[in-house]
Structure 1
Amino acid sequence: ASPERPPPPPVGNVAAAVSFAIGSGSRAVLVMQGGVLVAEQYQGQGRVDRGELLASGTKSFSCALAAAAEADGFMRAGDLASIAISAWAPGGASPDPGQKQTIRLDNLLSMTGGLSNTGASALELNNVDSFRQAITARSGNPPDEVFTYGPNSFQAFAAAFELATGGSLTADLGVTGGQDSVSYLQTRVLNRIGIAPTQWLRDIRGHANWAGGAYFTARAWATYGQFILQKGAWQGEQVVPAALIERCSTYRNGAFLGYGLGFWLNRRVQDTFTPGVDSAPWPTEVAARFGAGSNIAPNVPESMFMAFGAGNVKMFILPSHEIVAVKIGGTQDDDRFLALMLGTAP
């Protein structure tokens, strides 16, 4: 018989952490440990059935999209993006093909490919052809040198997926055909873990907004977090290979150590963040930690990783304690919230 898995380490004071979050303006707080819901509280507009706009928290789903696409043989994270996006190949029709030809798909998912963040962003992305914007974005830096936060990398990755699954480039460098990326994710992964978005915003050409367009309830997003924590396993089934999920939180790019593939990492960034060169949408106190070579939450294990969207919409995954926590709204700096939960608050 296989040995029983040891229980997760004891936590600090989950009730105090939830109370702190609610007291500082969060409208929804949910904590799971070992796959069990241990705390859940709503206030104001927060409700158990409310689909929340995840904004950039949407990027977390790209981890599962990339893993499933690789498992199914469509594309590998280490591939050159120009294999799918022919306009980026040598002599391609996109601006700066000389630099873009060396961008890998994992560069796109880690925002280290050098694509500029010019053009529409956030909800304005839905008013343009977001795939064309991403494909024609200028290359501001060579890959693996600078962390450039913005939507173009994720829209380019989704475009590459749809091109790799039978799509084609239009004359104006848009994308037509191929498998719809969100429909594929829903069938391949989300249906199998029992969740679905309440809505997923799309642009004027019908392409899904992967940079910030998904709406999920707090419970559904936490369920996805549990799937990631379990490295792609669900109810005894390995939905996607564990190694392909695990790399989302272990991927290293020397351009910036604080981001994996679709997730922020609590690793110390060392000398990889240069204010004014690398861009990260964090409040002053967290940006200062990056500038000093530190991490997002110094009082929390470095193995923690998270998704973060505008309006302080956040999901935290703490493998050390088998915790998934979702916090909608409230404080920008979550070191205290997490430290209270783990009992590591100074």
Structure 2
Amino acid sequence: MVVLLVIVLVLVTGVIAVYWWQRPMLLTGTGYAAHNACAVTEVGGRENAEDDLPPNPLVPYLSESVDGDQTTGSLFGVLAAQHAWFTEGFGCTLDGDRPDLGEATTVGSDGNPFTDAPTPVADPALDAAMAHAFGDDLPPVVAEALGTRAVVIAKDGELVAERYADGFDATTPQLGWSMSKSATELMTGMLVKQGVVSLDDDHLRPEWTDGRADITVEHLLRMTSGIEWDETYDLGTPITQMLYGEHDMGAYVAGLPLESTPGTVQEYSSGSTTLLCSVLAERTGLGADLPRQKLLAPLGLSSGVFEPDAAGTPVCSSYLWATPRDWTALGQFALQGGEWNGEQLLPEGWMEQTLTVTDVERTDDPGYGMAWRVNVMPDGSLRWANLPEDTFYASGHDGQKVIVVPSEQLVVTRMGFTPEADDEASEVQLVAEAIAALG
């Protein structure tokens, strides 16, 4: 009997030890589940949040529960619980307690040419291009893996084609993931135009008294800050800790050490963009309302929701929701060089600077400018040989794209859920076929 008790005690102790060892990863899973369930339902207006969970062995054991404006994600309904809180206008925020984010500025659609535009007249060639993008010619299981949910095409500033998957339409906000970085870059340019900030501003945090004091706004936009980072979604990495384990994401990133001299090495970092927004939110005094006042309202992006952390910092790396039409409007704004309804909202030459790729000692993302990627790579080759040289684009997790082709006055938005077939071939084909159809 004593031996049995010892064995049971050892097993229980082992299970507890394993749980605490794996708890950071479990919190990533439950945090993702809580935020996803809250945002898909409250921001996206859909009920099937499980459709947005990535393939992961942990998924079958995750559960979500809703109590008013609180969504809880946990393992087996008990372990590693994380809470997401919904706030009108700000979406869902992970934290143990309900965050106080203030009041969200009302955002209308005035001046946005796409919001109330009529459904485009069918065009056989464009319809065929969109059919390929949705995988109509593929076996059902392959088309499902492709996961296209929306395609919107604008030519010369006018909506010329759009298509949506079942359960989605022109009014359904979708998460852009890292396309949020490109939106943030445009917002930063607007603030530069207003004199709130400049690209060469340094000493961005008062606690930075070491080499981090040399980090500039431009370094954060170009991912050349030199701050130690790992974008791998894995146990204990900075990206999972930032998104699922921090009350104040900006402060967390600011507290990380330098691993290279600012401006010398380019390392893709969601932390850099969220840190930048913590600086901008503090400098403007607008907190979580920063993107609503300084980006969404001026462009009439009425569907846009930029979700913040519990400290009120917009999670500018990852959490902008908007309809595909509003994402297309962002691409149109970039295409027009920052001119919107007769007013120049970006500094002259901003997009040229944005799309200039600077020399660095090494990079993990060749062709990355200031939060937008270009088609001409540093060695002169083309990323996408069948698209014009001047093509540039915003890109997000699971196959989100806003692709801009200035020489064709074309903006193509593709959104979906593509965790296992996330190659760019169908997106590039879509743009090439749209150019041919409209040429």
Aligned-partner SS, 1:190: helix
Q: 1:262-312 CA distances to partner (integer Å, 9 max, x unpaired)? A: 212212132xxxxxxxxxxxxxxxxxxxxxx74431221221111111111
Aligned-partner SS, 2:349: helix
Distance in 2, Cα, partners of 1:69 & 1:210:
15
Query: CA 1:17/1:114 → structure 2, altered by over 3 Å: closer, same or farther?
Result: farther
Using the TM superposition, give the Cα deviation of residue 114 of structure 1 relative to its aligned residue in structure 2, in angstroms.
Answer: 1.5
- Asked whether the equivalents of residues 78 and 106 of structure 1 are also in contact (C-alpha less than 8 Å), the reply is yes
How much is the aligned-residue C-alpha RMSD, in angstroms? 2.5
Counterpart residue number, 2:251: 132
Distance in 2, Cα, partners of 1:145 & 1:209:
25
Which amino acid is 1:247 matched to? Q
Counterpart residue number, 1:316: 403
Counterpart residue number, 2:338: 232
2:162 to 32, 40, 62: 40
- Asked whether the equivalents of residues 156 and 409 of structure 2 are also in contact (C-alpha less than 8 Å), the reply is yes
Distance in 2, Cα, partners of 1:164 & 1:201:
19
Using the TM superposition, give the Cα deviation of residue 325 of structure 1 relative to its aligned residue in structure 2, in angstroms.
Answer: 0.8
The structure that has the greater radius of gyration is: 2
The higher relative CO (CA closer than 8 Å, separation ≥ 6) is in 1
Matches within 5 A, 1:240-279: 240-250=346-356, 252-254=358-360, 255-256=362-363, 257-270=366-379
Distance in 1, Cα, partners of 2:413 & 2:333:
14
TM-score normalised by L of structure 1: 0.76
Which amino acid is 2:306 matched to? W
Which amino acid is 1:33 matched to? K
Distance in 1, Cα, partners of 2:164 & 2:242:
29
- Asked whether the equivalents of residues 175 and 321 of structure 2 are also in contact (C-alpha less than 8 Å), the reply is yes
Distance in 2, Cα, partners of 1:221 & 1:40:
13
Counterpart residue number, 1:179: 286
1:221 to 297, 322, 327: 327
Using the TM superposition, give the Cα deviation of residue 155 of structure 1 relative to its aligned residue in structure 2, in angstroms.
Answer: 1.6
Query: CA 1:338/1:131 → structure 2, altered by over 3 Å: closer, same or farther?
Result: same
Greater alpha carbon shift after TM alignment, 218-227 vs 66-75: 66-75
State yes or no: 1:87 paired with 2:193: no
Distance in 1, Cα, partners of 2:315 & 2:298:
22
Identity of aligned residues (%): 26
Distance in 2, Cα, partners of 1:37 & 1:114:
41
2:299 to 193, 200, 207: 193
Query: CA 1:269/1:66 → structure 2, altered by over 3 Å: closer, same or farther?
Result: same
- Asked whether the equivalents of residues 127 and 204 of structure 1 are also in contact (C-alpha less than 8 Å), the reply is no
State yes or no: 1:114 paired with 2:226: yes
Which amino acid is 1:153 matched to? S
1:155 to 274, 286, 290: 274
Counterpart residue number, 1:332: 423
Using the TM superposition, give the Cα deviation of residue 197 of structure 1 relative to its aligned residue in structure 2, in angstroms.
Answer: 4.3
Please list every run of 5 or more consecutive structure 1 residues that lacks an aligned counterpart in the other structure: 1-11, 166-177, 271-292
Distance in 2, Cα, partners of 1:148 & 1:260:
12
Q: 1:214-260 CA distances to partner (integer Å, 9 max, x unpaired)? A: 11000011111111111111122223333234422235343555111
Which amino acid is 1:121 matched to? I
Distance in 2, Cα, partners of 1:86 & 1:263:
29
Which amino acid is 2:189 matched to? A
Which amino acid is 1:327 matched to? R
Distance in 1, Cα, partners of 2:309 & 2:294:
23
Using the TM superposition, give the Cα deviation of residue 63 of structure 1 relative to its aligned residue in structure 2, in angstroms.
Answer: 1.7
TM-score normalised by L of structure 2: 0.60
Query: CA 1:190/1:246 → structure 2, altered by over 3 Å: closer, same or farther?
Result: farther
Distance in 2, Cα, partners of 1:262 & 1:187:
21
Which amino acid is 1:20 matched to? H
1:210 to 316, 337, 342: 316
Matches within 5 A, 1:69-80: 69-80=191-202
Using the TM superposition, give the Cα deviation of residue 21 of structure 1 relative to its aligned residue in structure 2, in angstroms.
Answer: 0.7
State yes or no: 1:59 paired with 2:145: no
- Asked whether the equivalents of residues 269 and 294 of structure 1 are also in contact (C-alpha less than 8 Å), the reply is yes
Aligned-partner SS, 1:86: coil
Which amino acid is 1:86 matched to? P
Using the TM superposition, give the Cα deviation of residue 120 of structure 1 relative to its aligned residue in structure 2, in angstroms.
Answer: 4.3
Distance in 1, Cα, partners of 2:241 & 2:128:
35
Using the TM superposition, give the Cα deviation of residue 160 of structure 1 relative to its aligned residue in structure 2, in angstroms.
Answer: 2.1
